[in-house]
Structure 1
Amino acid sequence: MHINSQSRQRQIVRGAASLFRRRGYQQVSLKELATEVGITAPALYKHFSGKSEILHAALSWGLSEVLEAIAQANAAQVSFHESLADLTEAAIEHRDLWILIHRDLRNLDETAQAEVRRQLREIRLAIREILATEQPAASRDELDVRARAVIACMAAPAEYPQKSTGTALVRNIAAAAANVSTVGYRTDRPPRGRMPILQPFQPRVSRREQILASAADLFAQRGYDAVGVTDIGGAVGISGPSVYSHFETKIEILETLMRRAVGWIEFDRALVFAESSDPCEIFSLWVHRYAQMATSNRALFVIYTDEIPNLPDNERRWVERSHQDYFHSWVSLVGEVTALKDSEANAMASCALSVINDLSGSTKAHVHSDFVTILANIAVDLVVPVGS
């Protein structure tokens, strides 16, 4: 059967998006990509000049279709809640793109990055505009945060495994997006919300700690592959080869950082559960502490969520199991505080985590004194709306 050029390009882009998501952009060769979509490498070059152009196309086409879903909803003049199913379906259809934007956008040149960011901004502003017509009393900041949170909900199936598919998944994610589109700016903290947050690094203790802290910042800013041992050494005032007095390889530094992140997050979970036996109180406190950790130690948090594909297989599987265990704890607790079905609790938990993961990296998280508390309350209210 003859496949026209555009159809072949779409096939390549979809296969590439899936492969980039599973393996990591830097780990995928054009030869592997060609095999994934069932063509030869020379045939692939007939459609794209290289890997970065394929990544750009995957992001741009996916975002264009989400924008089109919003435009169709506007043309139909339906309410935001009525449009959520179509918008959510379009976002889930292109679920790979949300991970790639977050993790691999930096692999594009500045022009391509700017184009993708422009499309993302268009989506956010379009959602904000729809919300503004239905919530005229809301401030611009509130509307902007709600729009970002709606997008984060739609990206949740890309970040976390789901127990529903098809229309059921669309319905569950749309329900979370509906909740988060109306949440307010609450600045109240949970009763035990002032428990100290653990610090993952202690640079004053040793040179090894200095190296870990500096490597975390560099990996988070540039990505693991773009950082050399010389860069890490320079950041702590030593030569590159001197780093090897503390770590045998660069990958050992990443492995140590990942295990530090896992231990840091899991120990904090244990502290929260030791504070109370009431599921609602535990949930509120855990959400607040998770939001605080995601904001106050952003570099290690980014590594924990983004750099898994760069780990050796055994280490990667270990970290993935840790991710799964941590997420399942959230799902279980959400089920306790809401009495939702397992698949619905799974979707709600994934959306709450996705909202914190995404918005904790925003500018507001660093300039608004109460934003971490506001963000945590948004995630709590997403799962258990005020007054429910």
Structure 2
Amino acid sequence: MATRTDAPTRREQILKEAARLFAERGFHGVGVDEIGAAVGISGPGLYRHFPGKDAMLAELLVGISGRLLTGAKHRVAEAGADCPPERLLDALIEGHIDFALDDRPLITLHDRELDRLRDSDRKLVRQLQRQYVELWVTVVRDLYPALPEPAARSAVHSVFGLLNSTPHLGRRGSLPGRSTTAELLRRMAKGAFEAAGGSIDGEAPFG
């Protein structure tokens, strides 16, 4: 999701390849030696960076939850207090689309492997995710004041489900193109919030 242009560190390379392999073949279907081979180092060499596969999985899932929350907070802060809520929501949607298109293996990992984390890491993931959801809920309710809080939260979760469907869209090369796919996801997400907020007929459907 990040827009960094500098070269990734070896640790970041390891995590990227681990995410790809875990998503393709499952956590237990991948050995440390295979992850090492993917980044050009020996399997035992990975232990200089991580104590094992469990640590890689935890850093991947806790890390992406933290980056999503940090990125969303940054977008809101960058927009400023006077930014119209519609523009804030657009910025949040844009950020999540970047994640959904650029970090597809992490979506698969979260769906399949979250329960493999130790309790403390899993609780941290859930805590970060709740904060991320509530940030969206605040912006959605600022834009659609008549929408009750539970309905706004349901709408946010529904849009996340829509945007996080990217692993099921086919292989990266089979998609119609990043910009085209991003625009489609953007329109669908905005349409979902407009429907939830009742902007079409002027009445909140959950009222």
TM-score by length of 2: 0.81
* Residues 1:215 and 2:18 are matched in the alignment: yes
Shift of 1:309: 0.6
Shift of 1:231: 1.6
Amino acid at match of 2:136: W
Matches within 5 A, 1:113-192: none
Give the Cα–Cα distance (whole angstroms) in 1 for the partners of residues 141 and 19 of structure 2.
34
Q: Percent identity, please.
A: 28
Shift of 1:381: 1.1
- Specify which of 267, 270, 275 is matched with residue 78 of structure 2: 275
* Residues 1:198 and 2:2 are matched in the alignment: yes
Q: State the aligned residue count.
A: 191
Amino acid at match of 1:307: E
Contact 2:62 2:124 in 1 (8 A): no
Q: For each residue in 1:292-312, what CA deviation from the matched residue of structure 2 results, as whole angstroms up to 9, or x when unmatched?
A: 221122123433444221101
Residue 164 of structure 2: SS of its match in structure 1?
helix
Give the Cα–Cα distance (whole angstroms) in 1 for the partners of residues 191 and 169 of structure 2.
20
Structure 2 unaligned runs (5+)? 202-207
- Specify which of 256, 259, 264 is matched with residue 67 of structure 2: 264
- CA 358–344 in structure 1, closer or farther in 2 if over 3 Å, else same: same
Structure 1 unaligned runs (5+)? 1-196
Shift of 1:268: 1.2
Give the Cα–Cα distance (whole angstroms) in 1 for the partners of residues 126 and 163 of structure 2.
19
- Specify which of 364, 373, 376 is matched with residue 186 of structure 2: 376
What is the aligned partner in structure 2 of residue 299 from structure 1?
105
* Residues 1:286 and 2:92 are matched in the alignment: yes
What is the aligned partner in structure 1 of residue 143 from structure 2?
337
Shift of 1:271: 2.1
Amino acid at match of 1:302: T
* Residues 1:348 and 2:150 are matched in the alignment: no
Give the Cα–Cα distance (whole angstroms) in 1 for the partners of residues 111 and 131 of structure 2.
14
Q: Specify the structure having the higher radius of gyration (Cα).
A: 1
- CA 280–310 in structure 1, closer or farther in 2 if over 3 Å, else same: same
- Specify which of 118, 130, 155 is matched with residue 324 of structure 1: 130
Matches within 5 A, 1:59-98: none
Q: For each residue in 1:295-349, what CA deviation from the matched residue of structure 2 results, as whole angstroms up to 9, or x when unmatched?
A: 1221234334442211011111111111122122222222221221122212211
Shift of 1:239: 2.2
Contact 1:308 1:316 in 2 (8 A): yes
TM-score by length of 1: 0.45
Contact 1:356 1:379 in 2 (8 A): yes
- CA 265–210 in structure 1, closer or farther in 2 if over 3 Å, else same: same
* Residues 1:240 and 2:43 are matched in the alignment: yes
Cα RMSD of the aligned pairs, angstroms, is 2.4
